[in-house]
Amino acid sequence: MDFENFLKKLKEKDRVTLSKVITLVDNETKEGVEFLKKFYKERKDSFRIGITGPPGVGKSTLLNKLIERFAKKYDSVSVVAVDPSSPFTGGAILGDRLRMENIYKFDNVYMRSVASRGSLGGLSSSTENILQVLEIFGTDVIFVETVGVGQSELDVMEITDLVIVTLVPESGDSIQAMKAGIMEIGDIFVINKSDREDAYRVSEYVKSILQMKYQDKELTPPVINVSAKNDTNIDELVSRIENLKEIFIQKGIIERKREIRRKKEVREILRDMFIKSIDRELKIIENKNDKDVSPYEISEKILKNIDFKSLEDIWKER
């Protein structure tokens, strides 16, 4: 595979090539891994923004408005929409493109839907690799919209630089239950559909929760009432995003997040390799009559038998 030509076309903003490379890494192919290994240093310092929240709060409509603003301000904007996966194909099935018409209006916006792969609603293991390809492509800002259920809300915090949690006035009754989860991850809280009743009450309640949690007023997440449908307060939200980005850079928060992210990715790659190596040993053990042997003893035998040089072969099989 001509990786150098792929890189050249990516730098020329060739979307067909971009889609091909993303497919390679999304499917975790050997070629995709080799591409990332070879051109990891070519990544741009893209700003990653996560958008999450319960289903039905208007995340896609809100993102559509943000795309419009950021596409006018930056040379390149990308969107990764994490959809529930099809139980038959494993592919993304929601088709958020239908709700984001602004991706068609701007030549500098690229969107890709990826499947959650069914991991309890969490982000697939390839999502981080897709974001790295977009950084090699030269994207200035990357939005990651999650499916809004389960583990994905926590995962998005780990792979982005800033997280926007989207709620609606009707979320008031469930916020108390959210406090241990989604309320812990937001850098900005948006009350969407704020033209509805109870919007002010809910925003004040969220503010009170956040003020009790944060000692540093500068880092206390702002709570913004918007109406994405009516285009209300979207410019204020954009301004808050940009301001918070600068604060995070000055305080070294983004740098720390990225270092944690890098270490986590290394751990996950190693874990994947070790598990595959252990599975090989388990297959050998299955062929033996070891029913009376303790799982602890079996585990000790496996650790002694693992050939660490073989891990390279396992990696090449990806």
List pLDDT tens digits, range 57-69: 899 899 999 999 9
Average pLDDT, the chain: 84
pLDDT at 243: 96
- pLDDT-derived band of residue 114, with 50, 70 and 90 as boundaries? confident
CB 209 within 8 A of CB 176: no
- pLDDT for 92 equals 44
Domain boundaries of the chain, sorted by first residue? 43-251, 260-316
Per DSSP, the residues of the chain read: --HHHHHHHHHTT-HHHHHHHHHHHHTT-HHHHHHHHHHGGG---PEEEEEE-STTS-HHHHHHHHHHHHHHHSS-EEEEEEEPBPTTT-SB-S-GGGG-THHHH-TTEEEEEEE-TTSTTPPPTTHHHHHHHHHHHT-SEEEEE--SSTTHHHHHHHH-SEEEEEE-GGGHHHHHHHTTTGGGT-SEEEE-STTSTTHHHHHHHHHHHHHHH-S-GGGSPPEEE-BTTTTBSHHHHHHHHHHHHHHHHHTTHHHHHHHHHHHHHHHHHHHHHHHHHHHHHHHHHHTS--TTS-HHHHHHHHHHH--TTHHHHHHHT-
Question: What is the Cα–Cα distance from 202 to 54, expressed in whole angstroms?
Answer: 15
- Closest C-alpha to 7, from 18, 267, 131, 75: 18
Q: Which of 40-44, 103-107, 188-192, 274-278 has the lowest mean pLDDT?
A: 274-278
Q: Mean of the pLDDT values across residues 163-183? A: 73
| Residues in the chain, total | 318
Reported confidence tier of residue 219, pLDDT bands at 50, 70, 90: confident
pLDDT mean over 135-157: 84
Over range 252-279, report the average pLDDT: 89
Stretch 170-176: mean pLDDT, rounded?
66
Whether residue 274 has pLDDT greater than 90? no
Residue 90, φ and ψ in degrees, nearest 5: 80, 0
CATH number of 43-251: 3.40.50.300
